[in-house]
Amino acid sequence: MDKRRRAVLAGIVLAAVAIFNLIYSLGHISDEQSFYHYSSQAMYHESFYEGGRYPDLFLRALVRDKKVILPRELKTYDMYSTYGRDEEHGNPFDKNYLIENDYIRYFKAYASETETDTSLLQMDEVGEAFSDKERGSSSEAVDQTLQGKLPLIEEFTSLGIANDLLRYSFPLNHEEVQQARGFWYYWYYHHFADKEPDRPESYPEVFVLTEGLSEADTLVAVWDENENLYLMPSERSSSLRVESQILPGTRPPLIRKRYLR
Amino acid sequence: MTEILLECMKNVTGGYLLRQAAVIVVLAAAGLVCNHCLFHRFRHSLAFRLLLAFPLGLALYSVEGFALLLLGIPFNAFSMAAALLLTVVAVAVCALRKGGRLAPGRQEAAAYVIFLLAAAATAVFCCSGLLSVTIDNDSVYYYSTYPEIMAKTGSYLKYFDTFMTDVGQTSAVLNTLPFLYGFDNTFGIQHFMNLDFILFFAVVTAELADRCLAKRAAGGSGDMDRLRPGALAAGVLAALFMTGSYPFIFISKWVMSNVYFMEYFCIIVALVLVLEAGGLSAGELRGCGFALFVLTAMLSMLRVEGVVVCAVLILCLSTLDIGKRTLAMVFILPVFILQGGFYAMLYLRMGVDPVYSFLDVKKALAITLGLIMLMVYILFVRDRVLKIRFIRERYRLLVILVLVLGNAAFLVVNTERYVSNLLTIYRNIRLGHGWGYFGIFMVLAAVLIAVDVVRGGVKDMAFVDFVWVCFILTIIAACWARGGALRMGVGDSGNRIMMETVPLTVAVIMQKCYYYIVRR
């Protein structure tokens, strides 16, 4: 076979192989892994909502240019007792050290600005206000039985579990404690947390009140003792604030709280 | 609800597209200026100056960012822009002092303007979301969350912990671009790099095919300006073959460091091949030394195993007619400086000691020792052993033998893990986890290489074949050395690293086909 014929034949074969390659690949590749076409410029894709995946991608894009109001100041490791630590099984923490502070560190790192407002509901109060034992799956809005307790609750939407968001916040902790070792932290969320008797079966979730969320300049973030996070525009957060009333003639002052509606 | 969330994301990320596109164009421009100032005007060098502009610009950003962090200089948008600008100015000044002319000729200037306009249009297309991507946990946390934190702190902190030992640091720095310059992902950057690489692959294949044709036709150096149609066809077919390959599509769309590693590795190999085809005189790299220095530095820190792959690559390059000083200064030195500096910071200054990590003190020491030995070998031993005819004629085969022996040592130390990893790699390819039916081409490449070696009388082998074999042996060894067993599935680390061999596999097959066609 002369050189020219050989070249043409080889070219045809190679072209056929290459085109078949392309058709096969494009036809089958989505069977193996999900590929996403993005309509926005965020790394968060709207289809993540269906499986409750990567709520932190949504959060970080959302809060980047916004102010977030938080319910308390950051507390340091030495402010916690040794109660609850389990050195034998590798837990150097009072669990509240993580529960009370991780979201504070998160928003201080990712929001453009943060502010503290201690009149916001604290963790146990949020837990009471938002608790619902029959809460549905992470992709549904919170159950309507909470109406009357807190009108806003039905408008919250779960974006998914906050596990990895919290797990990978370890670099934000600049204290000289074990949390700065990522895999101790992994242990907390994947082993220790699982064994907690009072912990609900599901891991902490991220709930957002979507109405007016992207337009708002200021957001409010509160969370409960299970680290379920609730994020909303500040204009919609009035029902989460408490008024403190000091009764005359009492020492120490008795703080009575009433919820605003 | 998905529409509401999408609307929300669109509202908060308006303007991000143009920012990412602008960053792409700026990096391409920076790389182009450097290439224009430094590249000699060898045959078709304009194409290489243009197509290596963005890879070089991106590598400059990543390597300089890493250097700033290593040195404790504040890492932020301003300092990075200043560093890039200073580098470009320094390159221009160096070129002037060497007697070069900075002002481009009329045709060159036109080509540059058209290139930058085309780059801008392509960047917008790449950032538009029309091309899909796939992401997973590593994409989100190792290659987005960690870079974002790094960008916010502006320095390395020991609290980064496993992020520093398990993530390639130039990958991490590359992914800080969104958080320094006001966007949220690097999808556009990755797609642009992919398109650039595909074009580069086509041009290199065409160039090498053309030289081959010219040599066989005239017995000369092939100095015609235009590429022959056969060579052009070879370039287009090679690019089409590679681009349509299942694992290439997979890896190129996956937001991970593997795609950058694959492309930078192949760019270095291809560029050296092109320079060698034109004849390397006294070890000079025709003005590409700076680019190769930066690209090698980039590659060595793109993944944790990057340093090992670079060391083996340098060993492969030592089989070419590249002078020992050039090998040491251009290829070993950047790897040594970056790795040594990083290990010193990790273990001496910060005392980082994660509970579980890919990299630990022992591995760091072993790697440092290996690099020193490599440097000693290149500077003092290589030239001497090449004087022995038996070794000179079989040098590449002997290097492969050394790698095989290295693998054998790992097999002896932990047989179960080695065999298990090997079987898992094999099964992942055979069952098509991310491979489609491309495994057939891997086997074909191996058979073609074996046939070539046997027909050549078990003497030396073609450079691309040699690099392919060495790369695979290195991957198997690196998978063993990282600890832990590989697993079945497309996302397994060893499986993804093996997918990085796709362009080389295509190059091996294309080369064999081409030699079959043009043989006398």
Query: Considering CB atoms only, which of B243, B250, B517 is closest to A7?
Result: B517
Q: Which residues in chain B touch residue A216, judged by CB atoms under 8 angstroms apart? A: none
How far is A112 from A109, CA to CA, in rounded Å?
8
Contact A6 B517 (CB under 8 A): yes
Strand partners, B387: none
Q: Is some CB atom of chain B closer than 8 A to the CB atom of A79? A: no
- What does the DSSP assignment read for B17-86? HHHHHHHHHHHHHHHHHHHHHHS---TTHHHHHHHTHHHHHHHHHHHHHHHHHHHT---SHHHHHHHHHH
CB B444 within 8 A of CB B468: no
Q: What residue type is assigned to position B290 of the chain?
A: F
- Please, which residues 245-274 of chain B have a Cβ atom closer than 8 Å to chain A? 245-246, 249-250, 253
State the residue for tokens 């700076």.
Answer: B290
Contact B244 A25 (CB under 8 A): yes
How far lies B240's CA from each of A22, B99, B245, B343, B355, in Å? 8, 41, 8, 41, 45
- Please, which residues 50-69 of chain A have a Cβ atom closer than 8 Å to chain B? 50, 54, 56-58, 60-62, 64-65
Q: Which residues in chain A touch residue B163, judged by CB atoms under 8 angstroms apart? A: 171, 182
DSSP A221: E
Query: Considering CB atoms only, which of B14, B127, B129 is closest to A39?
Result: B129
pLDDT score at B78? 97
Nearest to B267 by CA among B51, B115, B61: B51
- Please, which residues 217-256 of chain A have a Cβ atom closer than 8 Å to chain B? none
CB B294 within 8 A of CB B303: no
Residues of chain B with pLDDT under 70: 217-225, 280-283, 353-357, 519-520
CB A156 within 8 A of CB A58: no
Q: Is some CB atom of chain A closer than 8 A to the CB atom of B412? A: no
DSSP B448: H
Least Cα separation, residue B40 to chain A (angstroms): 33
HSE, CB side, 13 Å, CA atoms: give it for residue A63. Answer: 28
Q: How many CB pairs under 8 A join A and B?
A: 187
How far is A145 from A138, CA to CA, in rounded Å?
17
End-to-end CA distance of chain A: 90
Contact A171 B152 (CB under 8 A): no
State the residue for tokens 């709207």.
Answer: A46
- ipTM, interface predicted TM-score of the complex: 0.88
Contacts of B485 (CB under 8 A, 6+ apart): B417, B420, B421, B424
Contact B8 A18 (CB under 8 A): no
Q: What is the pLDDT of residues A205-247, one digit of tens each?
A: 899 988 888 888 999 999 988 888 999 888 776 655 544 333 3
How far is A222 from A203, CA to CA, in rounded Å?
17
Query: Considering CB atoms only, which of B12, B162, B510 is closest to A182?
Result: B162
pLDDT score at A148? 33
Contact B2 A47 (CB under 8 A): yes
Least Cα separation, residue B112 to chain A (angstroms): 29
In B441-482, the DSSP E strands lie at none
Query: Considering CB atoms only, which of B4, B146, B157 is closest to A210?
Result: B4
Torsion angle, CA of B104/B105/B108/B114, rounded to 10 degrees? 90
- What does the DSSP assignment read for B258-314? HHHHHHHHHHHHHHHHHHHHT---TT--TT-HHHHHHHHHHHHTTSTTHHHHHHHHH
User: Hey, is A242 helix, strand or coil?
Assistant: strand
Contact A42 B184 (CB under 8 A): yes
**Tokens linked to A48:** 């993540």
Residues of chain A with pLDDT under 70: 1, 83-93, 130-153, 176-202, 237-261
Q: How many CB atoms lie within 10 A of CB B380?
A: 10
pLDDT score at B305? 93
Contact A46 B12 (CB under 8 A): no
- What does the DSSP assignment read for chain A? --HHHHHHHHHHHHHHHHHHHHHHHHHHHHHHS--B--SSSSS--TTHHHHT--HHHHHHHHHTTSEEEESS----GGGS-STT-BGGGTB-S-HHHHHHHHHHHHHHHHSSEEEE-TTB--HHHHHHHH--TT---TTSBPPGGGTTT-GGGGGEEEEEE-HHHHHTTGGG--SSSGGGSHHHHHHIIIIIHHH-TTS-SSPPEEEEE-TTTTT-SEEEEEE-TT--EEEEEGGG-GGGBEEEEEPTT-SSPPEEEEE--
Q: Is some CB atom of chain A closer than 8 A to the CB atom of B503? A: no
**Tokens linked to A158:** 């779960």
Phi then psi dihedrals of residue A186, to 5 deg: -60, -40
Least Cα separation, residue B471 to chain A (angstroms): 24
Peptide bond into A252 cis (omega under 30): yes
Q: What is the pLDDT of residues B393-413, one digit of tens each?
A: 889 999 999 999 999 999 999
Q: How many CB atoms lie within 10 A of CB A61?
A: 24
Q: What residue type is assigned to position B418 of the chain?
A: Y
**Tokens linked to B289:** 């030394």
State the residue for tokens 């793109």.
Answer: B302
Query: Considering CB atoms only, which of B14, B436, B517 is closest to A10?
Result: B517
**Tokens linked to A205:** 């979730």
Question: Taking the mean position of all CA atoms in its chain, how far away is CA B334?
Answer: 14
What's the whole-model pTM score? 0.90
Contacts of B340 (CB under 8 A, 6+ apart): B368, B371
Least Cα separation, residue B315 to chain A (angstroms): 33
**Tokens linked to B46:** 């304009």
Nearest residue on chain A to B253, alpha-carbon basis: A35
How far is A106 from A170, CA to CA, in rounded Å?
10
Query: Considering CB atoms only, which of B14, B132, B144 is closest to A43?
Result: B144
Q: Is some CB atom of chain A closer than 8 A to the CB atom of B440? A: no
Q: Is some CB atom of chain A closer than 8 A to the CB atom of B134? A: yes
Q: Which residues in chain A touch residue B143, judged by CB atoms under 8 angstroms apart? A: none
Domain residue limits, chain B: 13-385, 394-520
Mutate to test the interface with A, among B13, B158, B255 (most CBs of A within 10 A): B13
How far is B166 from B171, CA to CA, in rounded Å?
11
Contact A22 B160 (CB under 8 A): no
Contacts of B469 (CB under 8 A, 6+ apart): B400, B449, B461
CB A238 within 8 A of CB A151: no
How far lies B146's CA from each of A107, B75, B168, B214, in Å? 15, 14, 11, 50
Q: What is the pLDDT of residues B343-391, one digit of tens each?
A: 999 888 887 766 666 777 888 889 999 999 999 999 999 999 989 988 8
As to burial, measured by CB atoms within 10 angstroms (0-12 exposed, 13-18 middle, 19+ buried), residue A134 is exposed
pLDDT score at B278? 77
- What does the DSSP assignment read for A112-128? SEEEE-TTB--HHHHHH
Q: Is some CB atom of chain A closer than 8 A to the CB atom of B516? A: yes
- Please, which residues 340-369 of chain B have a Cβ atom closer than 8 Å to chain A? 354-356
Q: What is the pLDDT of residues B184-230, one digit of tens each?
A: 999 999 999 999 999 999 999 999 988 887 777 655 444 556 778 88
State the residue for tokens 């054998």.
Answer: B408
Q: Is some CB atom of chain A closer than 8 A to the CB atom of B216? A: no
How far is B118 from B125, CA to CA, in rounded Å?
11
User: Hey, is B120 helix, strand or coil?
Assistant: helix
- Contacts of range B118-123, beta carbons closer than 8 Å, 24 or more positions apart: B119/B24, B119/B25, B119/B28, B119/B53, B119/B54, B119/B192, B120/B21, B120/B25, B122/B192, B122/B195, B123/B20, B123/B21, B123/B22, B123/B24, B123/B25, B123/B188, B123/B192
HSE, CB side, 13 Å, CA atoms: give it for residue A167. Answer: 24
pLDDT score at B269? 96
Mutate to test the interface with B, among A39, A41, A60, A64 (most CBs of B within 10 A): A41
Phi then psi dihedrals of residue B105, to 5 deg: -70, 175
pLDDT score at B315? 95
